[in-house]
Amino acid sequence: MNRILLIGVIFLMNFSLLAQDIRVNRASTPKVSESKQYAQDAEVSEEAILQVQMQKVKQLFVLNPNTKDYQINETYADDALLRENAFALLYYNYLKSDPAQKDYVSLIGAYQLYPQSKELTFEMIKYYEKTNQLSLKKSLVANYGINLSLQEYGHNLLQSVEKNGILVTYGVKDSYSVWYNQEVKKIRTDVNVINYDLLRDDEYRSTIKKRYNLQLNTSYMSGVLLLKDIGIKNSEKPIFYSASISKLLLKELQGQLYPTGLAFKFSSIPLNDRLIQENWMKFQLTTPTSKQEKELKMNYILPLYWMAKNSKKLDDREKLKATALKIGGLNGKKQQVQQVFQNL
């Protein structure tokens, strides 16, 4: 299959999981502080504003002498404005912190103030994964809530990975759906999952290197270089990337990434085309109803195209094409999918 065409397929599909960002849930949490604007209006530095605000935030937390953790000071627990400002500042500090050394102290403080926030809950799940507090991670994963479409997606993503494979997940939906299937439903617990966001953290990367005996640098100038090295420097291991992976990586590793379903396997030699068909037979596939479910189904276009491209039977190719066109039609992309399958 033409590798440039493969990347073209991915670009046209505009996978719903690509480049996902963590954002504050506006319905359940206050707005993030506009500290930069405050600084400009007052003609003082942003750091000066943050220092003043942080002094106020410290009033909200007291040190528990038994656990050595900081807890909310009940004296100020009912001060709604203080809580909102504190949350905004803490979450802002966490978001703007260096990916190599994230400000988890601020994250924990923000979560204590608004534990109902789904965005912060997922960040805490990652934090517990990073610090190897697996029982706390499992508890949050189980209580986080997940719809059937995400359960199905995580199941099928795991089925796209060979036994004891290493899977690099990229976004919120694919990471959480995989963890839910493993932690709660006990599906494919043999797959070793590495979260890309966490992998940019120096401490987590060092832990993962030892855990899976990976060859990686101590630091990286860009996320794409890090992702490349996972495959290139560890080519003897079964390395898989979620289909939500950066499109830049697909460009960088042309000819070395092969779709296996909802994942790509890194390989320096061509893979057997039957592998993706074997994985497809293990998939759970339901008819999408909600907008989110329809968008998730777009991630199935690539494996459908790949199987049709390599099928020797015209009837099979037409059935696969029809399924892809149906998915495209549900998302207003039937014409784009039609154009892609014209290359068969």
DSSP 45-71: -HHHHHHHHHHHHGGGEEE-TTT--EE
For residue 314, CA distances in Å to 15, 191, 308, 309, 319 come to 27, 35, 9, 10, 9
**Residue 21's pLDDT band (boundaries 50, 70, 90)?**
very low
Rounded Cα–Cα distance for residues 82 and 89 (Å): 11
Q: Is residue 220's pLDDT more than 50? A: yes
The b/e string for 157-193 (b: 16+ C-beta within 10 A; e otherwise) is bbbbbbeebbbbbbbbbbbbbbbbbbbeeebbeebbb
Q: Which of 17-21, 121-125, 242-246 has the lowest mean pLDDT?
A: 17-21
pTM reported for the whole predicted model: 0.79
Is a pLDDT exceeding 80 seen at residue 25? no
Q: At what angle do helices 334-341 and 301-310 cross, to 10 degrees?
A: 20
CA–CA dist 7, 302 (Å, integer): 10
Q: What is the mean pLDDT of residues 73-96?
A: 73
In angstroms, the first-to-last Cα distance of the chain is: 10
Instruction: Extract long-range pairs of 274-277: CB within 8 Å, 24+ residues apart.
Output: 276/303, 276/306, 276/307, 277/307
- Confirm if 191 and 158 have CB atoms less than 8 A apart: yes
In the predicted model, is pLDDT for residue 75 greater than 80?
Answer: no
In one-letter notation, the amino acid at residue 85 is N
Most confident of 9-18, 103-112, 175-184: 175-184
- CA dist., res. 109 & res. 132, Å (int): 19
Is residue 328 over pLDDT 70? yes
Rg of the chain, C-alpha, whole Å: 22
Tokens representing 341? 């399958």
pLDDT of residue 22: 31
Q: Identify the pLDDT of residue 68.
A: 54
Rounded Cα–Cα distance for residues 18 and 238 (Å): 23
Q: How far apart are CA 174 and CA 335, in angstroms?
A: 27
Read off the pLDDT of residues 112-148 as tens digits, 9 standing for 90 and up.
Answer: 888 888 888 989 999 999 998 989 999 999 887 788 8
Distance between alpha carbon 326 and the CA centroid of its chain, in Å? 26
At 254, is the pLDDT very low, low, confident or very high (cuts 50, 70, 90)?
confident
- Quote the CA–CA distance of 143 and 223 in Å, as a whole number: 31
**pLDDT class of 283 with cuts at 50, 70, 90:** very high
* pLDDT number for residue 251: 82
| Under 8 Å between Cβ of 271 and 258 | yes
The single residue listed with the structure tokens 């912060």 is 120
Place of tokens 């004891």: 164
CB 39 within 8 A of CB 48: yes
